[in-house]
Amino acid sequence: MRPDIIINLAAMTDVDGCEDDVELAEMVNVNGAECVARLCNEYGIRIIHFSTDYVFDGKKRIPYVEEDTPAPLSVYGRTKFLGEKKVLEIHPYPLIIRTQWIYGNGRENFITKILRVAEKEGRVDVVNDQFGSPTYAKDLAEPIRLLIDLKKTGIYHVVNSGICSWYDFAQEIFTRKNMCVDVVPISSTQLKRKAKRPAFSSLSTEKLKRDTGYILRSWKEALAEYLNQI
């Protein structure tokens, strides 16, 4: 087909599953990224590779910028960071997009999961000590198109505007849906998950704004549109 651009969306994103199968996580998130980057370099194809806020440890208290040093806490975060490094080492002009807390049409996500639990149980337990920026997959399209058209390279953070906790996110979902649900705040330690999550991993989009002039809408506005469609 000889495409001009390949957008690599392939990844093992089951964060706890990566802890159980480190070899598979490395094959997909590191070796897979390396393979695509090598082929793109060989055939002169531009590569856009997707990454994550989980490359950071969450100890910062202001949004992470692209120049901050990654320090992943989990196998997932580590393999995604190593995948980034491979792409940057192999390809002469890659574009790496870091995003977070993605939801959208086509598959189950945080929103669909808690709506299902709430309808069945009347209550949901949601962590209130992890902060980030919920991002509607649809809203990634336009800024990425701009980055492609402007032939930008390197790492860019692309997320909806604003910061909240998963608990805040859940509260907003039920408010928008006019649902009376008992939302119980809990700590991350209470969930007893295998993989450690960053406590504060919001991503700054100042570089995107500076280089393209584009500002993503607020996560609340994006959420309202998505909920109207489901």
The model's pLDDT over 49-64, given as tens digits with 9 standing for 90+, comes to 999 999 999 999 999 9
- Name the catalytic one among 76, 103, 156, 226: 76
Contact 164, 188 (CB under 8 A): no
Contact 91, 41 (CB under 8 A): yes
The pLDDT value recorded for residue 195 is 94
Which residues constitute the domain of residue 97?
A: 5-229
- The CB-side HSE value for 13 (13 A sphere, CA atoms) comes to 13
Least Cα distance to 5 among 64, 57, 45, 59 occurs for 45
Residue 214 annotated as catalytic: no
Return the CATH number at 14: 3.40.50.720
Least Cα distance to 123 among 51, 199, 177, 181 occurs for 181
Residue 159 has pLDDT above 90, yes or no: yes
The DSSP symbol for 40 reads: H
Contact 58, 111 (CB under 8 A): no
Number of separate domains in the chain: 1
Residue 17 has pLDDT above 90, yes or no: yes
Cα 139 from Cα 205, distance rounded (Å)? 13
The pLDDT value recorded for residue 192 is 84
> What pTM did the predictor assign?
0.95
The pLDDT value recorded for residue 164 is 97
